[in-house]
Structure 1
């Protein structure tokens, strides 16, 4: 019944053209209407009847020369259109179809005289996908017609959903036609589908089917719940594809269909054609006995019958002819021109403009020669076919109609919102459009504030997810055996964040930032180094200065008492070198404190290495002199000539030069430099000195360890020599302290990070140096300062004997 508007759109277009002298002057267009009965065999039969009408069909024989066929409009479905195209393409008769086709079906028609008034089906896929993404719907159900085109839609849509992170909760195939006489066989299918579309998790349902698919769903709803007592349970967002018409059949036309309230429908683009509604209001069943289409439509729509002399009818059942089309529910008949009717309307005008071009050219070339302009030779039918490919005109709605290289009209789809009313009528509100060929970001336009949702949602944006969103600070973890849209939410691992919902993976912060407590944002890191202002830095600096002052004080004592036997007996010059070296060692530790710079990074390890090697070399020289001095006291010993200042110089200078050479190579080829360490400590950026070469650093330390070991070994050997001036036993203990400190330094240094590494090295420098100072010089200072009576030659000689 509802499809009768397609016929009326055809009649209206022809009526307009015949009334317009500027298009086809002196030519009157007519039309024939044939029913395909949704059957391929009947489609072939009616197509042959259209081409070669006689008492019986004789292909390629035409006797009615008044029947000038210039084109065919139809059909609505792909099966009907293909059946017609098989015959019409043989004779190059233009066929303008107004249905939608899958891409694989379009390829079959390449090379035929086939034109598509409906936009490319790719718009439907693009629009559906972007609609789902726009509202964040990731869990959708798919109902598709059990046909080849339905299977193609399902395969294409499943691929697109997966590619863009969306999932189908289920896919269900539905019958092509609504059958009320075969309910027992279809009860299992009905029960399964009822269970699917009442699933509360799935709020979005996509339906792909033909023109009668809606009638099938309405029958389903009526069977499972005739009174719609549970209509709130059916509250879903139904996404309807282009071929679905909101049409009711038979006994179901008076039943409400509130379950579709708030649905989103993709429809062929249409505009308000001036005069069409007025034309519909003039439709009256006058002469309905001759117009079988109108008679049948009128009786079915208004539940009445026209009088028949052979039958007696009750008065209430008689069609008066005064019934009005605008009083019918929208699912029976719409007063607004539908997208299919708009396509039919444009198809008629396309053929008319092609004829206009042919007649205009013939008039210019004066080839008419008295022939009736209304009689069109068969040869000109193929010319219409070629002219249609380049036709372009503005229709009465102000839109340009033309075909692209694939012989399909240029344009997109309208997005409409279905608003249902309790009197079984509805309104289709245009809320957007989709046109994949549009420019300037207008491929998809949606005015979602205009959408009226199903009452169940209380005008709140519907949600359709397999599970709740993962909030920021969490990442998705797929559930085993489930689709990727179904997942668990797990906290981000250490050092990473997620600042959006439903993130597949957490990501690390920039190098100069670190994750906050909730792991949903980054906090700028603070730059840290061992500064003089903080307690640890100030404590170490105070300790270094205190030890340096103490060393200077001891040096002053030894200089003041330089002529005393104790100072002279322990090699006065070597003692001065050792004390100055220890003083510089204490002061070199200050280079490790404060903000690292280019100069301090170059100096601190090398200054420490050279001064320490000088100090240890001096200690080694002292022990060596003690050993040689004891041997030189034996009569006739050849060691006598080695004892003296020359021996001290020959030990200290070479040993110090080796360390200085190592440090020079280090600075020349692998110089230390300041750097920012963003990885070692999570919440800090460590401003530190990169040693340039770890190998050179451990070579310097290793050489110091070698000198210390040699000093300890020699001192240990001569510690019990019977000499009042022998300080070897103090040196032995000092080397033991020194080696203990630096052996514990290596594991401590490697286990620390940032400023604590620096603190460990400063601590090792101070306490190893203090060990040398205390063990070697504190006993002597005790005698010099507190027991000067013992610092006498006589006392030392007496103690010796």
Structure 2
């Protein structure tokens, strides 16, 4: 049976009907008829129903709830007047206030109540409301979906609008911290009068204008609106009224376009009523809106069911005529209304635009459909569990077993079934539907109709990381948006090469743009999104001049084909050949006085070590590898130590030779090659020991230096241990200073064959080169550091070669007549 309880006269102040909600009634009727025709469920039971209209008024809700339970206009609790079938469950209501009002009464009698439009978090308490269920997932999941949507599109500056009630307060208190944690700012926050939808006549439309500055003037392109269908029905009027806003508010000379991206919650169903026709308004202001909706499907046969609906289809339908008049703007013959059009009853529901009536099942209608089937399945489970007790013989006549409503709760809590559309229906421990949300895009058409296209979903049962998904290509954005997807930021994005600087006294989403610091960059990371801060390039790259991208660093190495490398190679080869030439001369003239005068063996050792010094400089050229890194410093240190040890031995030999000439001197026994060789071997062995210790503990290895130079990456040999490297240099310096000291003291000894003065000058050159090497080496980078060391090796070795051997070669080659003992003795006299 379908009936309508008429409201009291004072509640019938607003005759306008939300025609789209009539589908809720039809979904209920469709579900009941589908169950009654199904032999597999409640085969011996016929479901019936009563429909009551609360008129969005708490008093009327209490009135109708008690009338439903007790069938009495006097409302005597626990007393039923007349014959009435037992109530096994209640489906309702659409709003949170209606649901909670009904739950206060129904909970006392443990009658299951399944809400199809309420998300009120207070009703989740199963201890306080054990009889309350809802055909909606947990609201926290919807908040997470809103956040995921904002993060996906990089929207940082959004407006928040919510109803001024407990639900709106809870929404704002929950969503704002979530936004802040994800670096999203609220451009404005507005709480709207809950009864604003009642201010819907031509004289009072201007009342909505005071809410316009919140979204029409804000730079936020994205606005999140929380509420219920009736409480935000003023929104299309407010959007349409923006064209009058500039005239009403001259203090805003440059009004921002009302083209926004509206994000609405699942409680909201886009509807319109007769006033839209009167004001010649439509839904195009909401074109491109993104809305969350409880996942829904289309049961088979529902569209055909709607096509059979007409004013006389059900005699007990107390809603059909009022709906028909409002939907088609007509009147029936006996109505006393100032309307010329007569309702013929042949009008087609398919001709109505979607804001007035939809031929596809809406999300709320789908919730009603599933609620009816849930109660039926719970009742079926209860009947099945008591199959042996269904019939009680009384006087030979069977009668059906009457179910107590409190027994349905265990069946509802454990219930899980697939409806005719193939969706699984079950409740969690809080009495909420186990499921997710669809993300739908509102697409409007010039004729005032619209469709809601599914563009994404939020599925908590999906694998981790895939709960949120969206198909951006299917989204139709508002026509007047200057950029799609919109940016929705407090400031325009900083251009590549710039960074954000926070504005004092403003929210962190508002900023100034400043150039990136040296060595950092910022650039485009998507179609329209830019980095918020400057970042450092990878180690092997550096920022370009505009600091908007990174480019690879050029390898910095002293290569063989480099100009500087060619010059150094040329000097090394030339000096090596010169050394070989000197060695050949000395070997060829080994029996001459000058060659024999200062220990030929030490001279040969010195010349060979100087040759190796020139050649070891070539190890420093080219790309470093493991072999060259191991040999570079160690070979250089050992060879130079041999050269310096030879010079020290030669100098000490001169001193001992002079002292041995004194009568009665005991130094004669020290004169000879044995002492010289001992000095060379012992001095060189110490350096060899240092190098072996170095290679055994922290050996050099190929490395790269990405920090020293901005635009180049230095390929080098890491010394492994700087201490060991400076120990090698320090020991060389010790030998050089020791040799220089001995040579300096012996420079004026009266001996014809005394070369101490030449050794003194050569070591002065040697020490000068290496003293200047250390600060120069530490102040250079890259290949120039290597070049400094090569130059120091060549210069110091050339100083030893030139200062010690050039005078002797001059005599041997240019003045051979002087290269005899008599001439040298004569020169000395």
If the TM-score is normalised by the length of the shorter chain, which range does it land in?
Answer: 0.7 to 0.9
Q: Is the 8 A contact 1:68 1:376 kept in 2?
A: no
Q: Distance in 1 between matches of 2:685 and 2:415?
A: 98
SS of structure 2 residue aligned to 1:456? coil
What is the aligned partner in structure 2 of residue 175 from structure 1? 193
Q: Distance in 2 between matches of 1:628 and 1:287?
A: 137
- Residue 705 of structure 1 and its aligned partner are, at CA, apart by 1.6
Residue 61 in structure 1 maps to residue 72 in structure 2 = no
Q: Is the 8 A contact 1:513 1:525 kept in 2?
A: yes
Per the alignment, do residues 582 and 49 of structure 1 end up closer, same or farther by CA in structure 2, a change over 3 Å counting? same
Q: Is the 8 A contact 1:498 1:507 kept in 2?
A: no
Q: Distance in 2 between matches of 1:105 and 1:51?
A: 21
- Residue 313 of structure 1 and its aligned partner are, at CA, apart by 5.9
Residue 695 in structure 1 maps to residue 713 in structure 2 = no
- Residue 735 of structure 1 and its aligned partner are, at CA, apart by 1.6
Instruction: Select which of 419, 441, 450 maps to 1:417.
Output: 441
Q: Is the 8 A contact 1:389 1:403 kept in 2?
A: yes
Instruction: Select which of 173, 179, 182 maps to 1:155.
Output: 173
Deviation readout 1:408-430 (Å, 9 max, x if unpaired): 33433343333334454433344
Residue 259 in structure 1 maps to residue 285 in structure 2 = yes
Residue 140 in structure 1 maps to residue 166 in structure 2 = no
- Residue 88 of structure 1 and its aligned partner are, at CA, apart by 1.1
Q: Is the 8 A contact 1:85 1:112 kept in 2?
A: no
Instruction: Select which of 225, 228, 245 maps to 1:210.
Output: 228
Q: Distance in 2 between matches of 1:277 and 1:663?
A: 93
What is the aligned partner in structure 2 of residue 769 from structure 1? 797
- Residue 493 of structure 1 and its aligned partner are, at CA, apart by 4.6
Residue 40 in structure 1 maps to residue 58 in structure 2 = yes
Residue 384 in structure 1 maps to residue 398 in structure 2 = no
What is the aligned partner in structure 2 of residue 235 from structure 1? 259
Instruction: Select which of 334, 339, 342 maps to 2:358.
Output: 334
Deviation readout 1:733-772 (Å, 9 max, x if unpaired): 2121111011011112222334433322222122112112
Q: Is the 8 A contact 2:609 2:643 kept in 1?
A: yes
Deviation readout 1:256-280 (Å, 9 max, x if unpaired): 1331122223233443345545554
Per the alignment, do residues 610 and 409 of structure 1 end up closer, same or farther by CA in structure 2, a change over 3 Å counting? closer
What is the aligned partner in structure 1 of residue 516 from structure 2? 491
- Residue 245 of structure 1 and its aligned partner are, at CA, apart by 2.8
Per the alignment, do residues 617 and 31 of structure 1 end up closer, same or farther by CA in structure 2, a change over 3 Å counting? closer
Instruction: Select which of 81, 84, 101 maps to 1:83.
Output: 101
Q: Distance in 2 between matches of 1:682 and 1:264?
A: 48
Structure 1 runs not aligned, ≥5 long: none
Question: Residues 92-491 of structure 1 correspond to what in structure 2 (within 5 A)?
Answer: 92-107=110-125, 112-178=130-196, 190-191=208-209, 193-199=211-217, 201-221=219-239, 225=243, 233-248=257-272, 251-255=275-279, 256-257=281-282, 258-280=284-306, 282-285=308-311, 293-294=319-320, 296-301=322-327, 316=340, 325-359=349-383, 364-365=388-389, 367-369=391-393, 377=402, 380-438=404-462, 443-444=467-468, 446-457=470-481, 460-469=484-493, 478-487=502-511, 488=513, 490-491=515-516
Per the alignment, do residues 137 and 715 of structure 1 end up closer, same or farther by CA in structure 2, a change over 3 Å counting? same
Q: Distance in 1 between matches of 2:522 and 2:242?
A: 49
Q: Is the 8 A contact 1:415 1:431 kept in 2?
A: yes
Q: Distance in 1 between matches of 2:293 and 2:695?
A: 78
SS of structure 1 residue aligned to 2:480? helix
Could you say what the CA RMSD is over the residues aligned between the two structures, in angstroms?
4.1
Instruction: Select which of 499, 502, 506 maps to 2:530.
Output: 502
Structure 2 runs not aligned, ≥5 long: 1-16, 248-253
Q: Is the 8 A contact 1:178 1:219 kept in 2?
A: no
Deviation readout 1:243-297 (Å, 9 max, x if unpaired): 2233345644533133112222323344334554555455555599986544544
Per the alignment, do residues 670 and 288 of structure 1 end up closer, same or farther by CA in structure 2, a change over 3 Å counting? closer
Deviation readout 1:121-162 (Å, 9 max, x if unpaired): 344334433433444433322211111111222233233333
TM-score, normalised with respect to structure 1? 0.86
SS of structure 2 residue aligned to 1:170? strand
Q: Distance in 1 between matches of 2:246 and 2:369?
A: 38
Q: Distance in 2 between matches of 1:152 and 1:773?
A: 91
Per the alignment, do residues 784 and 459 of structure 1 end up closer, same or farther by CA in structure 2, a change over 3 Å counting? closer
Instruction: Select which of 38, 62, 74 maps to 2:92.
Output: 74
- Residue 93 of structure 1 and its aligned partner are, at CA, apart by 1.0
Per the alignment, do residues 333 and 578 of structure 1 end up closer, same or farther by CA in structure 2, a change over 3 Å counting? closer
Question: Residues 482-631 of structure 1 correspond to what in structure 2 (within 5 A)?
Answer: 482-487=506-511, 488=513, 490-491=515-516, 493-494=518-519, 500=525, 501-504=529-532, 529-594=557-622, 596-631=624-659
SS of structure 2 residue aligned to 1:162? helix
SS of structure 2 residue aligned to 1:46? helix
Per the alignment, do residues 549 and 179 of structure 1 end up closer, same or farther by CA in structure 2, a change over 3 Å counting? closer
What is the aligned partner in structure 2 of residue 14 from structure 1? 32
Of residues 729-738 and 786-795 in structure 1, the stretch that sits farther from structure 2 once superposed is 786-795
SS of structure 2 residue aligned to 1:316? coil
Question: Residues 739-754 of structure 1 correspond to what in structure 2 (within 5 A)?
Answer: 739-754=767-782
